[in-house]
Amino acid sequence: MPAHVAIIMDGNGRWARRQNLGRIEGHKQGRQAVETVVDTCREVGIAYLTLYAFSTENWQRPVTEVRALMALLQRYLRSERQHMLEKNIRLRAIGDLQRLPVPVRAALEEIMQATQANTGLTVCLALSYGAREEIVQAARVLATAVQNGQLDPGDITEQAFARALWTTDIPDPDFLIRTSGEFRLSNFLLWQSAYAELYVSETLWPDFTRAEFLSALEVYQSRERRFGRTTEQRGSPPDLARATRG
């Protein structure tokens, strides 16, 4: 089983259009699929699930859609709080959370605090998330530490850089799923996905089922992860920093 599954939940708008509904209805319907993958991760023992829910670029959508998405997010958080506590789920969030409406951020922060000590599945929501922004932000953190004399430039290793990312203590995703048939990353976990296995499903996110998730996990299990080595040498991920030094 992958330790960390990351999902680009795409296709809500197209799902709605096919049903002759407005885009917002597609986002509402997408919630069912979120609950399904969360439950399935718990069932099969996946430790981390990262869900791309709203990108930096998504702020450019029509104001009405952005507002509706934020309202749905708030409703989701409010109604899932108890479930997360009961199911031993730990909630995390990555992204420029300062940009989120105050009530959404407050709800997020409260639940992250309340579920902090939970030891089951970690659900990480990527909200107002952009990987390039995350990387630039990490560079700024490290540059400031150097400027303040707290860090030597020679100590900026891959490990130090990874620690300065929003995903700081979350392991890299092993398996990255995108629904709706698009073959692109759309600014999602660019650093962290260096060796993720990719899987594109034609299914639109609201139609993504437990059965399809399980069959995707079977595909993952059939992949050979070589991390740059040969089939004969295959094993655990190499120390990328050491690989660079040769």
Task: Tell me if residue 58 is catalytic.
Answer: yes
Residue 220 makes contact with ligand IPE by CB under 6 A: no
Task: Tell me if residue 10 is catalytic.
Answer: yes
From the list ligand IPE, Mg ion, none, pick the one residue 53 interacts with, judged by a Cβ distance below 5 to 8 Å according to partner type.
ligand IPE
Residue 27 makes contact with Mg ion by CB under 5 A: no
Residue 8 makes contact with ligand IPE by CB under 6 A: yes
Contact 51, 125 (CB under 8 A): yes
Q: Which of 6, 9, 10, 49 binds Mg ion (CB under 5 A)?
A: 10
DSSP one-letter code for 225: -
Q: Which of 14, 28, 31, 225 binds ligand IPE (CB under 6 A)?
A: 14
Q: Which of 4, 25, 54, 164 binds ligand IPE (CB under 6 A)?
A: 54
> What dihedral angle (degrees, nearest 10) is formed by the CA atoms of 22, 72, 41, 198?
50
* Amino acid symbol at 39: D
Return the bridge partners of 5, or none: 49, 175
Residue 58 makes contact with ligand IPE by CB under 6 A: yes
- Residue 23 Cα distances to 145, 180, 181, 246, angstroms: 44, 15, 18, 51
For residue 128, what is the enclosing H or E element? strand 122-129
Instruction: Name the residue among 217, 165, 220, 168 with its Cα closest to residue 195.
Output: 220
Residue 10 makes contact with ligand IPE by CB under 6 A: yes
Contact 222, 194 (CB under 8 A): no
Closest CB 119 distance from ligand IPE, rounded Å: 28
Q: Which of 184, 210, 229, 234 binds ligand IPE (CB under 6 A)?
A: 184
Residue 12 makes contact with ligand IPE by CB under 6 A: yes
Q: Which of 39, 58, 96, 187 is catalytic?
A: 58
Give dist(CA 68, CA 71) in Å, integer.
Answer: 5
- Kindly list the catalytic residues: 10, 58
Q: Which residues bind ligand IPE (CB under 6 A)?
A: 8-14, 52-55, 57-58, 69, 180, 182, 184, 186
